[in-house]
Amino acid sequence: MQLWKKNYLITFLLFLLVLNTGLFCLSQVLFKNDLERWIEMALMGEQRFAYAISEFEDTADINEQIKYICRGYYTGNARMSVSADGKSIVNYIPDDLKFAYSADIVTYSGRKYVLLHDTEEIRGNSYEIIYMEDISQVYKEQKWRLAGLACASLMLAAIIGTMLYITMKKIYKPVNHIAHELRNPLTVIQGYGQYVQMGKICEEDRFFAGQQIVKEARTLAERVDRLLIMGNLREGNIRCLEINADTLFQELKESYEGLEIENDIISVTGDPNLIKCLFQNLISNGKRAGDRMKLTGKGKYITVWNDGEEIGEEDLRYLNKNHRWPGETVKDNGFGIALCYDIIKLHRWKMSYASSREEGTTVTIQIME
């Protein structure tokens, strides 16, 4: 697995952990607030009952009045048990119900109740009051809340995960491009190094091999330097210097044997290393495609032409719109082309491809001041 994908998975898992922990804590806070509100309402209901019986004037008929009030509470999803001096007056509380505190939450017949146990002194009599109110609605709402938050978590995870994947892939793309560009010089250096190690070669061949190793090492150093520069470019730091076009074209001609040059441009403005990298990639791709190569500078346009085979319409569409080769051909030159488009965009230039059987393939770069 690629490093950026591992980093993506770690970052995404940490995000999921923080997101779900936050949503769970939020649901618990909301549930606690709702539960406290319902318990407070139950406490007020029990206190209203105690206040009502304390105001009774006819003490002879007080037990019947207590029974009447308790029946009203019972129809309103509240159960009560009242006893005076140990003698039961009314009891709607199940006998097998167990509770440990004066205020407790109990479960009966699959439903949740808040239970309040209190003792009141009224007109010289001690009244024991047990008040039980149904609060199943609080737990039902909590289940729906958890389901809603789970759906919200899945949606956020999908959206943020997709955005994070695209962003990290875009961030690491220049690194992948440069890694592709480093592979060729490293292979050449390794090959010539093994050739020198053979020992049974003439001095002329040894000198030639050394030249090639030095040349590729220089290329490797330039591309490593580009790797460091590309990191700054992503932050908008680009060196804009005036580059002599004749000097640039001549350096490219010396690097690529048989390259034809035609130029009337005096100078271009941009990052020297990146601009050289741009033309090196285009010329290298052209040399792989055909036998003849021509670099032309005229007015505000620079063209790179080769006489290779015609590029199909579908491939041209990828090049001119998506800026990449299709997946089946990307192994050879897709990363280099994508890197060229990165450099073009950073310099605010424009690049397009044209190809035909009669005229070969031309890459046109429009230099924007």
Find the range with the poorest average confidence among 125-139, 156-170, 229-243: 229-243
What pLDDT sits at residue 184? 75
pLDDT exceeds cutoff 60 at 322: no
What pLDDT sits at residue 151? 94
Tokens representing 85? Answer: 């001096």
Neighbours of 214 (CB within 10 A): 12
Tokens representing 257? Answer: 């044997």
- Pairwise CA distance, residues 157 & 164, whole Å: 10
pLDDT exceeds cutoff 70 at 335: no
pLDDT exceeds cutoff 60 at 72: yes
Which pTM was predicted?
0.50
Q: 8-48 pLDDT, tens per residue?
A: 889 899 999 999 999 999 999 999 999 888 888 888 888 88
Which one is predicted more confidently, 337 or 90? Answer: 90
Q: How confident is the model at residue 225 (pLDDT cuts 50, 70, 90)?
A: low
The chain-wide mean pLDDT, for the chain, equals: 82
DSSP letters of 313-351?
HHHHHIIIII-S--TTTHHHHHHHHHHHHHHHHHTT-EE
Average pLDDT value for residue range 66-79: 81
- Pairwise CA distance, residues 25 & 31, whole Å: 10
- Pairwise CA distance, residues 127 & 83, whole Å: 6
Distances (CA, A) of 176 to 1, 216, 338: 13, 20, 10
Half-sphere exposure of 131 (CA within 13 A, CB side): 25
Average pLDDT value for residue range 260-280: 88
Distances (CA, A) of 166 to 77, 122, 153, 173: 55, 73, 20, 10
Q: How confident is the model at residue 334 (pLDDT cuts 50, 70, 90)?
A: very low
Q: Where are the beta strands (DSSP E) in 228-300?
A: 241-244, 259-263, 267-270, 293-298
- Pairwise CA distance, residues 306 & 293, whole Å: 5
Alpha-carbon 147 to chain mean position: 24
Amino acid at site 205:
D
Distances (CA, A) of 16 to 11, 131, 156: 9, 43, 9
DSSP letters of 10-55?
HHHHHHHHHHHHHHHHHHHHHHHHHHHHHHHHHHHHHHHHHHHHHT
Is 169 strand, coil or helix? helix
What pLDDT sits at residue 226? 59
What pLDDT sits at residue 33? 92
Q: 103-161 pLDDT, tens per residue?
A: 888 888 888 888 888 887 766 678 888 888 888 889 999 999 999 999 999 999 999 99
Measuring CA to CA, which residue among 280, 287, 294 is closest to residue 337? 280
What pLDDT sits at residue 230? 57
Cβ atoms of 93 and 130 closer than 8 Å: yes
What pLDDT sits at residue 362? 93
What pLDDT sits at residue 145? 92
What pLDDT sits at residue 331? 45
pLDDT exceeds cutoff 60 at 172: yes
Q: What percent of the chain has pLDDT over 70?
A: 85
Find the range with the poorest average confidence among 17-21, 165-169, 331-335: 331-335
pLDDT exceeds cutoff 60 at 235: no
Find the range with the poorest average confidence among 71-75, 95-99, 283-287: 95-99
Average pLDDT value for residue range 184-193: 82
What pLDDT sits at residue 159? 93
Cβ atoms of 99 and 115 closer than 8 Å: yes
pLDDT exceeds cutoff 70 at 234: no
Q: What percent of the chain has pLDDT over 90?
A: 24
pLDDT exceeds cutoff 90 at 296: yes
Q: 307-316 pLDDT, tens per residue?
A: 988 888 888 8
pLDDT exceeds cutoff 90 at 63: no
Q: How confident is the model at residue 59 (pLDDT cuts 50, 70, 90)?
A: low
What pLDDT sits at residue 332? 46
- Pairwise CA distance, residues 352 & 366, whole Å: 9
pLDDT exceeds cutoff 60 at 236: no
pLDDT exceeds cutoff 80 at 174: no
- Pairwise CA distance, residues 36 & 39, whole Å: 5
